[in-house]
């Protein structure tokens, strides 16, 4: 990969060597330089964390977990990026717990109102298994 030769210019004037010849430098494209820099970057390594995350059974546990993550970052035991990943884990667990709570509340309301749910699925059969009528 050779760059494009071009004369060296300083303060609007050609820079010359001792013999009076212009000094030539090679100019490379920014895209090429960015690609070369990225190519020599070592791959990202994840490390195991020795970090005790509180057991997550309720939303109150999530608050404790987030406080624990923040304290661990403040102590310098984990990086902010690692804390972000742990926060995503806590968030996913809390969404799962929240969905489970929602289903329980819905089932309690349905039982109280004596509402029955469809047995097979939520979506209708859409005519599966029936012959197609042709005109």
Judge whether 95 lies within some domain. yes
Cα(43)–Cα(39) distance, integer angstroms: 10
* pTM over 0.85, yes/no: no
Q: Is residue 83 part of a domain?
A: yes
Sign of the four-CA dihedral 116, 122, 123, 127: negative
Which of the pair, 94 or 2, is modelled with greater confidence?
A: 94
- Collapse the DSSP code of 93 into the 3-class scheme (helix H, G, I; strand E, B; otherwise coil) and give the result: helix
pLDDT on residue 13:
86
Given this model, what pLDDT does residue 70 score?
93
Q: Read off the tokens for 3.
A: 């760059």
In the chain, how many domains are there? 1
What pLDDT is stored for residue 38 in this prediction?
Answer: 76
- Give the Cα separation of 85 and 118 in Å (integer): 39
Per-residue pLDDT band at 4 (split at 50, 70, 90)? confident
Q: What is the pLDDT of residue 92?
A: 92
**pLDDT tens per residue, range 31-60:** 777 777 777 777 767 777 777 888 888 888
Q: Answer yes or no: is 8 within a domain.
A: no
Q: Minimal CA–CA distance to 116: which of 128, 125, 107?
A: 107
Residue 5 placed within a domain: no
Residue 26 maps to a domain: no
C-alpha to C-alpha distance for 3 and 33, rounded to whole angstroms: 11
125 falls within a domain: no
Containing structural domain, residue 63: 59-113
| pLDDT of 67 | 92
User: Which residue do the tokens 């859409």 mark?
Assistant: 126
Are the C-beta atoms of 55 and 49 separated by less than 8 Å? no
DSSP H or E segment with residue 78: none
The answer to whether residue 108 sits within a structural domain is yes
22 within some domain: no
């Amino acid at each position: 990969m050779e760059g494009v030769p071009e004369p060296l210019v300083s303060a609007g004037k050609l820079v010359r060597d001792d013999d009076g010849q212009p000094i030539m430098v090679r100019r490379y494209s920014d895209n090429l330089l960015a690609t070369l820099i990225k190519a020599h970057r070592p791959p990202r390594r994840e490390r195991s964390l020795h970090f005790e995350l509180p057991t997550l059974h309720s939303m109150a546990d999530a608050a404790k977990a987030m406080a624990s993550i923040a304290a661990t970052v403040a102590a310098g035991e984990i990086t902010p990026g690692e804390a972000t990943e742990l926060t995503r884990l806590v968030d996913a667990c809390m969404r799962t717990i929240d969905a489970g709570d929602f289903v329980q509340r819905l089932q309690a309301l349905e039982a109280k109102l004596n509402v029955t749910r469809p047995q097979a699925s939520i979506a209708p059969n859409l005519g599966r298994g029936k012959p197609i009528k042709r005109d």
